[in-house]
Amino acid sequence: MSQRITLPKTDLSVHPLCLGGNVFGWSANEEESFAVLDAYAAASGNFIDTADVYSEWKPGNLGGESERIIGNWMKSRGNRAEMVIATKVAKLSTRAGLSAANIRAAADDSLSRLQTDYIDLYYAHEDDTTMPLTQTLEAFNALVVDGKVRYLGASNYSAARLREAIHISQTYGWAQYVGLQNQYNLLDRKEFESDLAPALSALGISALPYYGLARGFLSGKYSAGSTVDSVRAGGVVDYQNDRGYAAIARLQELSAAHNAPMAAIALAWLRGQAAVSTPIASARTVDQLKEIVQVVELSTAEIESLSAITA
């Protein structure tokens, strides 16, 4: 598979793995984060996803830690022009929601932390039903017109609201959402495939799913009865069942057949879905990065064999 794809309705040419920045400033300090970012860049990686809220949840953090680390890294490496940076607004407690004033202020905050004058892909991190969509979308469009943002995306939107938002933007001639970042993986499929995938197809835009490895479960490190030392271990309980372990067994077979990590196989399944352009996955260490950055191409039969297990 080519090491670059172009996101639909953009001129953004990106690596087939988008590196999630949620761990930077949370479970990975700046030095550890720099090592992961260096390894990703060395593997031709150029697409990094973060958010202003990362990682406000860690005791002592205020939010913006991930953006700040990424900004420091790009400045120290002198590589901003080579990177495609995505970040988000709406969930940080001190910059909550999608009012016009908050979008403007949050974007400026993110630009400052990232030490850049433009954001390649700026997401509404969640839908804000307390604000008229026209206000939100006009504010996002103004950022594009001003050159602070190149493209817009939506995260955690329903299909109905995504359609409505794009219709409004088309009506007014505003910049439109070009991608959707919602949860989707081999084990979390029903909502996305029944509702969102048809909408994305109709709209001609793509998904950039998060939790592509089901919070790490699909990496294979959570075997039956095992205990894993991870800040995210509690999030995999819902996957530790017969269905989840059947998927793991098939991933192990394909891992051996392709001589590739199980995580790379799980991400390859995602890339094999028509609605998906680039999955997002994060790495706390360089070893974890090596598991996810390898781009594997599965056959149609291999993809279908995985799909059948978790249908």
CA angle 137, 141, 144 (to 5 degrees): 150
Q: Which of 54, 122, 157, 210 is catalytic?
A: 54
Which of 62, 63, 68 minimizes the C-alpha distance to 85?
A: 68
**Alpha-carbon distances, residue 94 vs 67, 97, 115, 126, 211 (angstroms):** 15, 10, 20, 15, 25
Distance CA 41, CA 199 (A): 33
Distance CA 179, CA 124 (A): 11
Strands 13-14, 5-6: parallel, antiparallel or unpaired by DSSP?
antiparallel
Distance CA 47, CA 16 (A): 9
- The answer to whether residue 54 is catalytic is yes
Under 8 Å between Cβ of 91 and 123: no
Under 8 Å between Cβ of 15 and 44: yes
Hey, what amino acid is at 4? Answer: R
Distance CA 166, CA 133 (A): 10
Q: Which residues are catalytic?
A: 54
